Structure 1
Amino acid sequence: MNRAWKRKAVVCGVTAVAVVLTACGSDDAGSTGDEESADELEIWVFSSSAPPVIEDGFTAAFPQYDVEIVEVPIADVTQRLVVALQGGDDLPDVVQVPLRESGGLFATGQFLDLSEELGPMEDDFADGILVGGNGEINSFTMGPGNMGLWVNQEALAEHGLAIPDNPTWDDVVAVARELQTASGGKQYLFVQPPGTNGANMFNAFFNSRGGTWWDEDGELAVDEDLATQTLEFMVGLDQEGLVYHGVWTDATYWDAIRNQEIVGWTMNFGVGSTSLQENVPEQSGQWQLVTWPTWAESDEQRTGVFGGSLYAGLDGADNPQGARDFIMWWLTPEGLQAQADTLGLVSYRRAAEEIDLDIEDPYFGGQNVRHDLASVPYPAFHFFHWPETEAAITAAVDQAYAGDLTPAEAVEQIVAELSAL
């Protein structure tokens, strides 16, 4: 993080979120500018779970705002926002943005700087959670995409197998090989989806080793050797026949889980917990979360990021104070509870002091998977030029799995495309 943020003045001379909201979020937000526009607050969201939370929670806390919620499909939200930014009008006051799209957007300098509000709270967030551009803090990641290894322990136990405590990836691969032998090659601990999901799966493994493509200034900063080693690891699993090829959006994927063909997979909370329970409720009690393995016994445990979202305020919109109030509301007890209820993971470290996060999940045998998953942070990762970066990674990774490129050649191809941006 940019440590200069800590030296900035604290809004109204206070640091606690509740004080910032009550002392600085005033009822007379319309005292400057157009009174009608100051009272109106337009919020674009792509999450279907967001509108009722906003309507029930935020509007109760800030009744002075006339809130309009506009639902925009996630596939369209960034392009629609870019068009609005280019035109300079029809801007929302706040927009929900996928984390993967945030780097390039924040680099435009057209978003509210929340350094004064969030800077003094920097130590209350894990590395990489506070995000922004041009030396500013523009927001914080919600529902961070911390990755874990989800394992059907009962399926492994039928072969006398189990993932050891505090495993390395070598330990997990050793179990996968034993499983391959015991099952006749019909059960898998690893999943590699095709296309963009496969690229982002590779990227999560790469990120967990500290890898990134861009630095915080949007300059190319990839460690090609580390990227190559990571892709060699994943392609090697495939060549050994240890990988199931499929994506969780397909019905056949869940059939494979029901049939215990897939008995392990790396994924974030939203798909690894929520979708697992929704699609295979009959396997309750069989699964457990293994927090992200390390790459060597001496390594500090770090996960990779596979998603996440955030809310950001638009600098040129009509109601900047309302946008600030809205974003900071998510860090009040009510907002934290809303995050936990809708997104699962909460990225604010002090949340446990404000709301009950000691949630034992019977599906996972009473394990507190939210706490365990969130306890392993991911290294900072900078999402610049992400559509182009994702496309370059997707093409090269697919070719590496097909055997058309070696992992080293695939990484060289990615870097060559990114260098041309």
Structure 2
Amino acid sequence: MLHTKSRRTTVAVAGIAASALLLAACSSGTDDGGGGDDAEPIDAEAVAEEGGDLLIWGWGNAMEPMVEGFMDAYPNVNAELVNVGTGTDHYTAVENAIQAGSGIPDVIVMEYQAVAQFALNGTLADLSGYGADQYAETFTTGTWDAVQFDGGIYSLPMSSGPMALFYNQTVFDEHDIEVPQTWEEFLEAGRALKEADPDAYIANDTGSANLLQGLLWQQGYQPYQVEGENVTISFDGPEVQNYTDLWQQLIDEDLLAPISDWSDEWYQGLANGTIATLVSGAWMPANFESGVEGAAGDWRVAPMPQWEEGAHSSAENGGSGLGVVDASDNKDLAYAFVEWATTGDGIDTRLHATFPSTVADLQSEEFLSLESDYFGGQRINEVFAESAANVPEGWSFLPYQVYANSILNDNIGTAYTGDTPLAEGLQSWQDALVAYGQDQGFTVNG
């Protein structure tokens, strides 16, 4: 029987206890035929037809139709879907089950930012031995890079979050503001909006690591270099200065609303036009439709502003894959589900519940031609698909990225109140990440 628990999904992820997640949490389970570079690929179709029991942990609207679809396609499979929570709750529950040695899920949702962390601590099975490397061209660059760690493949991509600029066209038209194509034009738009309406802001204060990292990723900058337990962290270089210089001006000139993401005030600001833009991922339209009430038809989507005129570069923000738990007693069937859900017929079961990571779907005329009523009939998937195609290669996350993101605002938050220069806050974050990594047993340079 399929069990689900309804819970609102949020993008922000709080810190997770280090003892549960990092080097001390290494674990291994029974290997029943796949995983690792030395194993032989399995016949996933045959494994699924033979069937068996699966315990799948995950959240979001995509999971239930996928699990039900897999059981419909393979009647000998009995899959149970359980939502143990999102983000921190989910990951902590996974580690607790492994530590206890019982109730261990076979398949888990894994946000891209957490893949390296759970690959290194042994939670996730390496899918290379199953033949997962054959799908290198199946997925977008950003998502395929995100599921790899230290030569292994630790999830297969499910959803993606190519970034774009959401803007309130009604507000822009009212004040004769052009949609910014560069970040310098974004700053100028903020100034023009503030002059026209002192109560309006081009964006809001945000201590979002996803946004910060996206603005660096867009420039091809890679602040994290990870080779196993050797980590280098560096927020230094002209790309970082581009970011801090621009955002410092937005702060100094009071162009950002003093409102945090995901708060009631934030939704209200997006709804009433006092927050005029948002830079976010392709999963955001669902949040507009459900949370930004009364603004249907006002908003549109455009490519991210560029750091250089004429450039076409973007980044990823969010998204997740499906991983096989290494301690599972049924890894072959678990992999068969993951492969079906991310590369096979499972994609169609949730294509409208998540933004896809598969190149073929992002190039499909049926997908691209969908018109969004909320966004004034705009074919918004065209913008997101172009964004996904323009994500620079080579990005990697820290093996303790979930924790890192959770403390960002502790270090740069005072920059938004004017008490600390943003560049100093960023250096403080780097120092904290270096110290934390060293405390957890990593060799960290920074």
Match for 2:400 among 369, 380, 385?
385
Query: d(CA) in 2 for partners of 1:333 and 1:97?
Result: 19
Change (3 A) 1:21 1:366: farther
Q: Is the 8 A contact 2:62 2:350 kept in 1?
A: no
1:152 corresponds in structure 2 to 168
1:322-377 Cα distance to aligned partner (Å, 9 max, x none) = 1111111123553222332211x111101257793131112223222123113213
1:189 corresponds in structure 2 to 202
Query: d(CA) in 1 for partners of 2:250 and 2:351?
Result: 35
Query: d(CA) in 2 for partners of 1:383 and 1:145?
Result: 19
Match for 2:185 among 171, 175, 178?
171
| Local SS of the residue matching 1:342 | coil
| Local SS of the residue matching 2:208 | helix
Q: Is the 8 A contact 1:346 1:374 kept in 2?
A: no
Query: d(CA) in 2 for partners of 1:8 and 1:121?
Result: 18
Q: Is the 8 A contact 1:228 1:407 kept in 2?
A: no
| Local SS of the residue matching 1:295 | coil
Q: How many residue pairs are counted as aligned between the two chains?
A: 388
- The aligned runs of 1:227-242 (5 Å cut-off) are 227-242=240-255
Q: Deviation at 1:216?
A: 4.1
Match for 1:287 among 267, 280, 299?
299
Change (3 A) 1:417 1:255: closer
| Local SS of the residue matching 2:342 | coil
Query: d(CA) in 2 for partners of 1:60 and 1:355?
Result: 28
Matched, 1:91 2:104: yes
Change (3 A) 1:245 1:86: same
Amino acid at match of 1:328: E
Query: d(CA) in 1 for partners of 2:148 and 2:92?
Result: 19
1:203 corresponds in structure 2 to 213
Change (3 A) 1:409 1:59: same
Q: Is the 8 A contact 1:199 1:397 kept in 2?
A: no
Amino acid at match of 1:67: A
Q: Is the 8 A contact 1:287 1:363 kept in 2?
A: yes
Q: Deviation at 1:398?
A: 0.7
Aligned-residue Cα RMSD (Å) equals: 2.6
Query: d(CA) in 1 for partners of 2:148 and 2:193?
Result: 44
Match for 2:54 among 13, 21, 41?
41
| Local SS of the residue matching 2:329 | coil
Matched, 1:246 2:262: no
Change (3 A) 1:216 1:253: same
Matched, 1:301 2:313: yes
| Local SS of the residue matching 2:141 | coil
1:268 corresponds in structure 2 to 281
Q: Is the 8 A contact 1:214 1:220 kept in 2?
A: yes
Change (3 A) 1:372 1:8: farther
Deviates more, 1:399-408 or 1:292-301: 399-408
Query: d(CA) in 1 for partners of 2:312 and 2:116?
Result: 26
| Local SS of the residue matching 1:325 | helix
| Local SS of the residue matching 1:105 | helix
Change (3 A) 1:274 1:50: closer
Change (3 A) 1:352 1:268: closer
Q: Deviation at 1:248?
A: 4.5
Amino acid at match of 1:295: W
Query: d(CA) in 2 for partners of 1:355 and 1:290?
Result: 19
Change (3 A) 1:308 1:132: same
Q: Is the 8 A contact 1:77 1:97 kept in 2?
A: no
Matched, 1:27 2:37: no
| Local SS of the residue matching 1:155 | helix
Q: Is the 8 A contact 1:149 1:289 kept in 2?
A: yes
Q: Deviation at 1:393?
A: 2.3
Change (3 A) 1:277 1:28: closer
Change (3 A) 1:188 1:142: farther
- The aligned runs of 1:250-399 (5 Å cut-off) are 250-271=263-284, 273-303=285-315, 305-332=316-343, 334-343=345-354, 345-351=355-361, 356-357=366-367, 358-377=369-388, 378-379=391-392, 380-399=395-414
| Local SS of the residue matching 1:63 | coil
TM-score (norm 1): 0.83
Q: Is the 8 A contact 1:45 1:70 kept in 2?
A: yes
Q: Is the 8 A contact 1:359 1:368 kept in 2?
A: yes
Deviates more, 1:348-357 or 1:325-334: 348-357
2:126 corresponds in structure 1 to 113
Change (3 A) 1:50 1:159: closer
- The aligned runs of 1:213-228 (5 Å cut-off) are 213-217=223-227, 219-225=231-237, 226-228=239-241
Query: d(CA) in 2 for partners of 1:391 and 1:228?
Result: 23
1:103 corresponds in structure 2 to 116
Change (3 A) 1:61 1:215: farther
TM-score (norm 2): 0.79
1:101-157 Cα distance to aligned partner (Å, 9 max, x none) = 222101124423222433122122222312133311121333222221111112211
1:34 corresponds in structure 2 to none
Q: Deviation at 1:41?
A: 0.5
Q: Is the 8 A contact 1:187 1:262 kept in 2?
A: yes
2:151 corresponds in structure 1 to 135
Amino acid at match of 2:366: D
